Amino acid sequence: MNCLILVDIQNDFVPGGSLAVKEGDQIIPLVNRLMESFDLILATQDWHPADHKSFAANHPEGQIGQQIELDGLPQVLWPVHCVQESFGAELVAGLHTSHIQHIFHKGTDMDIDSYSGFFDNGQRKSTGLGNFLKEKQVEQVYIVGLATDYCVKATALDAQNLGFRTYVIEDACRGVNLQEGDVSKALNEMQQAGISLIQSQDLLR
C-alpha cells in the first residue's frame, strides 16, 4: 500500500503565522489534489507545550535562530509556535482534512524537539507512526508539507531508514532556508540517502 504523509501543514507555518514559511500556503491546493490519488493519508502536527525549550522566549537572552545545546543535542531556538490547543497549531483551514485518517503529534516533550514525524530528535521516543504504517502494510510513503529543510527532511530520512520506499514531492513542500542554501542541502542529503525526489505531475498526469 502507498501512503501520503502531510507534514506540519499548520497555521503557524504559513504566512501570517509565528514561524511562517515563505509561500507555505501555496502548497495547499496541490496537496488537496494529491490526496485524491491515495487510499491512506496521514498527517503530523507540531504540538508543543508552552514551556518548550526550543522556544527562544523560554531562555534568558535567547535569540531566534541561535544555536544552543538542548539535552545533549544541537538545537535552533525558534519563535513560540504550534502550542497545544492554539490556533497556530491547527491544520490550515483550506486543507481537506476529512481525507486524513490519523494525525500524529510530535514535539510534545518540553525537553527535546521533534522535527521528524516518527521520532524526537534524539530518536528516544516514537510517535507511533512507523508501527502504524507497518500495521497497514504500507511499503511506499510519499511526503509533502513544511518545511523542506527541517521536518520534511527528518521525516523522509526516518521513513527511508525504517525500510519504507520514500518519495518527497518537491513542489508540494516549501523550506525555511534559515541559512541560504539550506533547502538545496536538504534535497541533496535526502537524495544521497536513497530518497526519490519527484514532482506532483509525476502522480497527477
Q: Which residues are catalytic?
A: 8, 106, 151
Asked if residues 54 and 77 have their Cβ atoms less than 8 Å apart, the reply is yes
Q: What share of the chain is helix, strand, coil (3-state, %, to 5)?
A: 30, 25, 45
Angle between helices 153-161 and 182-192 (to 10 degrees): 10
Query: Hey, what's the cell of 116?
Result: 521528524
- Determine how many CB atoms are found less than 10 A away from the CB of residue 193: 14
Q: What angle do CA 74, 75, 76 make, to 5 degrees?
A: 135
